[in-house]
Amino acid sequence: MFQSIIMMGGLGIAIGTVLVIASKAFYVYEDPKVVAIDDVLPGANCGGCGFPGCNANAQAVVDGESDVNSCVAAGSDVAMAIAAIMGVSVSDKEPEFAGSGCYYGNADADLNYIYHGVRDCRAAVMLMGGMKVCRIGCLGLGTCVTACQFDALSIGEDGLPKVDQEKCTGCGACEKICPKNIIRLTSVTRRILREYTKEECVTPCQRACPSGIDIKEYVRLIREGDYHGSLQVIKERMPFPTVISRICPALCEFDCRRLLQDESVGINNLKRFVCDYEMNQDKRIQPYKAPGSGKKIAVIGGGVEGLSAAYFSARLGHDPTIYEITDRLGGILRVAIARERLSLDVLDWDIQGIADMGVQMKTGREAGKDFTIPQLLGEGFDAVFTATGGWDSRLARGGGDRAANVFPGAFLLIDLLRSGTDEKIVVDCKKNVVIAGDGIQLTHAVEILKSKGAENIIVVSRKAAKDSSFGPEGVSIIYNGGITRVMGKDQDLIGIEYIELDTGVKHVIDTDTLILGSGRFPELVFVPLVEEETEGVDTNMPISWEGVELQKKPDANREFGLLSKQDAISEYSSAVAAINGGRQAAAAIHHLIYGIEFQSPVNMITKSSVLQDVRLLNHVPPTPRNLLEIATSREERKDKFSTGFSLKIADEEANRCLQCGLVCYEKQGLS
C-alpha cells in the first residue's frame, strides 16, 4: 500500500514536471488588445470582414490591417467599444460594393469551345483561359456566388454575376476568389483613384477618352431613358460635362467600333443632350461623394485643372478651397473661346455645380503676393496644389508684366530672361541656384544669374552628356537627372531632390533659388513636414514643407522628375486633358495626406499597350449618324433641347451604340 502511494506520488510529480516544461516550451502569448477586441466582437465568424473568423479580424485590427468598424454583423456600439480599446475615434466608413466588370455572358459571347468540366471558374480558367474568345471575360460558373456568405450574389439570365447592394457587405470574398478579376469591390474613392488596366474590360471609346468616362454605360442609360443616372456616370470623371459637350475634340469617336461598319456614334452630342436636359430642368444632378475626412486642401489656380482638382478632392471627402488671381473662375475657358462655341451661362452653370459639391472659391488672391504656400500650410491646410496654368493663361489675364513666384525661391526661366532687359520684371536670385532643364538660352540665363549675385549654379538636365551641347564656365551640370521634390522652411527654399534617371538613385542639393525651364510652374503637391523634436512644443516655429511631383504613367520613358514628356510644360492640349490632370492631382493629394505610397497598377493601360480587339463587325446593319441641329438664334435656347438632339433623335443615336465589351459587341442584326 505504502509502495503504491509512493509510486502514484512519483508519477504525479513526473507528470506535473512534464506539464510545467511543456507549458514553458509551447507557451503562446496572447495580445491583451486582441483578446479584448475578440471578446467584444459578436463571434459570428461569418467572414464578412474579409478575415477567417472574429479572432483573425481582432488581430487584423490591432495590426492596422482592418478598421475598428469592419465587423458587418455588429452595430455602431461594437465599433465604439473597439475604438476605445485601440484609443482611436470612429469616423464614417465609405460603403464598398462588389461590381461586375464583364458585359457579355457565355450565351452572347463568342466561344472557343463548350465547357463540361468542373463547375468552378478556377478550374475552367486552367483550360486555355476559359471557354470564351475574350481572354478576360467572366466564365459564369458562379464561384463568386458560392464564396459570398451573405446571399448578395447570383448569376443572372445573361450568365453574369448580379450584386444585391442591400445585402453586399463589401467583404471582398468574391473579389479574392475570382480568377479573372472580373468582380471586384468598388466605391466612390476607388473609382476616382483608379487607373484602368489590361485585365479590365475597357471599351475602345473609353480608352481613348482622356478623362476615362464610362461612355458605354452613360449611352446605355440614355437608351433606357434614365437621364439622371447617365449624368451621374458622366460626372464620375467629368466636372465640366456641359462645357466639354460643346468644345471636346471627341477623341472617343475616332476609336468608336462602329467605324468598322459606317460612322461613329455621336458620343459627344449625346453627352450634350443629357447635360442640356439637366440644365433645362434647372435641377442639379450630382454624383456620389465619400464621407467627410476633415482634411483641408488648398488649390492655387481657378482654371480647368484647378477647379477639377478641387472637385475630385471634394468627392474624396476633403474640404477644398480655390485661390484664383483674377475676379472670375474658368481660366482659358472664359477668355479664349468664342462665345458662339461656349456661352458664359453654360460655363457658369458647370462652375456652380463644382461649388455645390462643397468647393470654396476665393478670387482676387495672388500666390506670392496676397498669400504664400507656407502661410496656407500654417493656417491648417493639409495640402496645397499648384495649378496656375501656363504662359498663355498669364497673358490672357494680363499677368505678363511681372515675374511669377508661386512658391518660395522658384521662378520661370522666361521671367529670368526678361528681367535682364526689363527692370519691372524682378527675379530675386540668391547664392545657390539650380536650373531645371537646358536649352539654347541657358548661357544667357547663367550670365544674368551671375550678374544678380549667384555664386553656385547647378543645371539638372534630363539629357545624357553626349546629347548636350551646353557647357558654360563656372556651372555644374547633372546629366540624366530629374527633380522629384522641393523642400523649404517657412518662406525660404532650402533644397531640391533629384533622381538619376538611369539608376533611380536620389540625391538632395542645398539650394535657395530654383529656375524652371518651362512655360508654367510645375504641378506640385505641397504638404507640411512635422519635426518630432518640435511637435507640440512651440507652434511659432517656422514650418517645414515639401513639394512633391505628381505620379507618372509607367510607360513613360525615364518617367520620374519634372519636365518629363508626361508633364504639362505650357498649357494642356485640351480642356478634357486638363480635367484628367486635376483628377490625378486629387489622387496624389489623397495619397500624400494619408501617407499612402502611390504605386502604379500592374499592366496599366497606356498608349503602347497591346490589347485584344476586333477588326470586323458581323450582323451590324449600317445606319446613318444623326447630325446635330444648330439653333438658328440664341432665343431658341429657352426651348428644351433646342441646342442639341431632340428626345427622339437622342434615342435613335443612343441605339446606334454597339454596347461593346473588349471583343464583344451587340449584334443588332440577330433576332
Domain boundaries, the chain: 1-30, 33-90, 97-186, 204-286+622-654, 398-531+541-570
Find the DSSP H helices in 165-285.
173-177, 188-193, 204-208, 215-223, 227-235, 241-247, 251-254, 267-281
CATH superfamily to which 33-90 belongs: Electron transport complex subunit B, putative Fe-S cluster (1.10.15.40)
Q: What is the pLDDT of residue 472?
A: 66
DSSP state of 197: B
Higher pLDDT, 222 or 392: 222
Confidence of residue 7 (pLDDT cuts 50, 70, 90): low
Confidence of residue 537 (pLDDT cuts 50, 70, 90): very low
Percent of the chain residues topping a pLDDT of 70: 87
* Cα dist from 226 to 186, 219, 230, whole Å: 22, 10, 6
Q: What is the pLDDT of residue 641?
A: 39
Burial (0-12, 13-18, 19+ Cβ within 10 Å), 177: middle
Whole-number Å distance between alpha carbons of 334 and 111: 52
Task: Identify the CA nearest to 99 among candidates 285, 252, 236, 241.
Answer: 236
Q: What is the pLDDT of residue 488?
A: 96
Whole-number Å distance between alpha carbons of 516 and 514: 6
* Cα dist from 433 to 8, 60, 326, 458, 542, whole Å: 89, 49, 31, 6, 22
Q: What is the pLDDT of residue 572?
A: 86
Q: What is the pLDDT of residue 474?
A: 78
Whole-number Å distance between alpha carbons of 662 and 207: 11
Find the DSSP H helices in 287-411.
304-315, 332-335, 344-356, 373-378, 391-396
Q: What is the pLDDT of residue 565?
A: 81
What fold characterizes domain 97-186? Answer: Alpha-Beta Plaits (3.30.70)
Burial (0-12, 13-18, 19+ Cβ within 10 Å), 54: buried
Task: Identify the CA nearest to 653 among candidates 287, 343, 256.
Answer: 256
* Residue 545, helix vs strand vs coil: strand
Q: What is the pLDDT of residues 149-164, one digit of tens each?
A: 899 999 999 999 999 9
- Is 50 exceeded by the pLDDT of residue 216? yes
Quick count: other Cβ atoms within 10 Å of Cβ 402? 17
What fold characterizes domain 204-286+622-654? Answer: Fumarate Reductase Iron-sulfur Protein; Chain B, domain 2 (1.10.1060)
Find the DSSP H helices in 543-659.
575-593, 647-654
> Picking from 26-30, 402-406, 610-614, which range would have the lowest pLDDT averaged per residue?
26-30
Whole-number Å distance between alpha carbons of 136 and 126: 13
Task: Identify the CA nearest to 397 among candidates 328, 349, 340.
Answer: 328
User: Cell numbers at residue 604, please?
Assistant: 496599366
Q: What is the pLDDT of residues 558-599, one digit of tens each?
A: 578 888 887 888 888 899 999 999 999 999 999 999 888 777
Strands 524-529 and 383-386: what pairing? antiparallel
Whole-number Å distance between alpha carbons of 239 and 314: 11
- Mean pLDDT (whole number) for 386-402: 79
| For the chain, counts of helices (H) and of strands (E) | 23, 18
Which helix (H) or strand (E) segment is 11 a member of? Answer: helix 2-25
Q: What is the pLDDT of residues 413-443, one digit of tens each?
A: 999 998 888 888 888 889 999 999 887 888 8
> Is the separation of the CB atoms in 411 and 405 below 8 Å?
yes
> Picking from 24-33, 111-120, 441-450, 510-519, which range would have the lowest pLDDT averaged per residue?
24-33
> Is the separation of the CB atoms in 258 and 658 below 8 Å?
yes
Strand partners, 668: none
Q: What is the pLDDT of residue 569?
A: 81
Which helix (H) or strand (E) segment is 184 a member of? Answer: strand 183-186
Q: What is the pLDDT of residue 437?
A: 87
- Is 90 exceeded by the pLDDT of residue 174? yes
* Cα dist from 301 to 371, 523, 549, 572, whole Å: 13, 11, 17, 14
In the sheet where 360-362 sits, what is the strand order?
360-362, 319-323, 296-300, 383-386, 524-529, 544-549, 481-489, 492-500, 506-510
> Picking from 65-69, 361-365, 368-372, which range would have the lowest pLDDT averaged per residue?
65-69
- Mean pLDDT (whole number) for 632-644: 51
- Is 60 exceeded by the pLDDT of residue 556? no
Confidence of residue 1 (pLDDT cuts 50, 70, 90): low
Higher pLDDT, 603 or 485: 485
Angle formed at CA 611 by CA 608 and CA 614, multiple of 5 degrees? 130
Backbone angles phi, psi at 273, to 5 degrees: -60, -50
- Mean pLDDT (whole number) for 17-26: 60
Q: What is the pLDDT of residue 179?
A: 93
Whole-number Å distance between alpha carbons of 372 and 323: 11
Strands 544-549 and 524-529: what pairing? antiparallel
> Picking from 57-66, 221-230, 350-359, 386-395, which range would have the lowest pLDDT averaged per residue?
57-66
Percent of the chain residues topping a pLDDT of 90: 55
- Mean pLDDT (whole number) for 203-225: 95
Tell me the one-letter amino acid at 361. M
Whole-number Å distance between alpha carbons of 378 and 539: 9
User: Which string of DSSP letters, residue by residue, matches 413-451?
Assistant: HHHHHHHTT-TTS-----SEEEEES--TTHHHHHHHHHH
CATH superfamily to which 398-531+541-570 belongs: FAD/NAD(P)-binding domain (3.50.50.60)
